[in-house]
Amino acid sequence: MKRFLFIILFVFQSTTVLADEFEFRVIALFKNAVMIEHAGKQKMLRKGQIYKNNLQLISADSHAAIFLVDGKKVSMGLHQSGVGGLVFAEEKNIERKFVRIPRDNMGMYRTSGFINGVPVKFLVDTGASQVAMNETIAKSVGLQYKLFGQKTRVSTASGISLAWFIPLKKISVGGVELKQVNALVVKGAGPEEVLLGMSFLKQLKMQDDGNLLKLTKRF
């Protein structure tokens, strides 16, 4: 019997900063924490933590992080062009077609994204053949699944349930966007969040080093 695997994801943003010869990249933003990449290695910094003697995280949220870099306060976000003696790499014209996701302290991955332009929360499930959602989420996205969907039956943790196959116009997760992705709307309240199944994932290159999942668009 098929079971839904609820795996939690985070969406990454990426900004690079160069201070003298010290260069690092912000690859993820959290509340009071940030993950950076320096000299090819990844490091999670928490509020107040000092790294390499010249970098300290002052504060962070999902939008930006504030550092002390060589004694200078710097706000790190997307599309920065320069602050004081620091030089930021601009990414306005870079079409990023990947998303990096760190494993959380529960050993899970999660991300937020969009279905047909409507924000949703995704939970990765490589054991699910299709992207799947419950009726409430489908209605919030604006899917007319009963009118245009194809009826079927699916196995869930609760048993056999009625469902509808329906193609989604667009799914966006981080820098990855795919169109015409097959999905299932499952009758009832489960799954509680949208399962990011293989109808989406099979079109991507997946790299998981145990702590970080990278999804890259193949073409």
The average confidence (pLDDT) of the chain is 77
pTM of the model: 0.57
- Residue 199, number of CB atoms within 10 A of its CB: 22
Sequence letter at residue 125: D
- Which CATH code for domain 110-217? 2.40.70.10
Please tell me what DSSP assigns to residue 90: P
Q: Which two tokens stand for residue 178?
A: 């795919």
Per-residue pLDDT band for 199 (boundaries 50, 70, 90) equals: very high
Domain ranges of the chain: 15-94, 110-217
The whole-angstrom separation of Cα 25 and Cα 14 is 7
Which pLDDT band holds residue 75 (cuts at 50, 70, 90)?
confident
| 91-129 per-position pLDDT tens digit | 444 445 788 777 777 777 888 889 999 999 899 888 889
Residue tagged 């990765």 (tokens): 124
d(CA 6, CA 10): 14
Distances (CA, A) of 160 to 137, 156, 187: 20, 6, 10
